[in-house]
Amino acid sequence: MKTYVKIYGPPILEALKALERVAIEISKELPEVCFYDILGASAIPLEEETMHILGLSSEEARVYREKLISKSGWTLGDYDFYFEWTRPPTFEQLKKLIAKIDEALKPLGCRYTVTTK
């Protein structure tokens, strides 16, 4: 099961970086979120800026990269980003992820949709 995010309007690049940070943060709280993908790039490297903001060492970043590699292949289609679940999420888990997404994207002022299927 995956939770897809479609971003409408600027700043798209900043929104994608914010979602990457959400993926790393949420994987600490919800180990059921095992992967994220951005623009069809499986296992993208964490940027130095993101590692610094999150306080990750190079070794911690490597562990996250290994954990975040999808085994199911690309499925973005019309979406910009997705979070993959190891098992179907509960309503509470979905609310937690959506709250994190809202919190990360609110300062950017972009519009977006979240779809889980």
- Over residues 30-63, the pLDDT tens digits come to 878 876 666 554 434 455 556 655 676 767 666 6
- Over residues 67-86, the pLDDT tens digits come to 554 444 445 568 888 888 88
Give the residue-averaged pLDDT of 7-30: 86
Most confident of 1-15, 27-41, 95-109: 95-109
Distance CA 33, CA 93 (A): 9
| Closest of 102, 84, 76 to residue 112, by C-alpha | 102
**Secondary structure class of 71 (helix, strand, coil):** coil
Tokens of residue 2, six digits: 């995956």
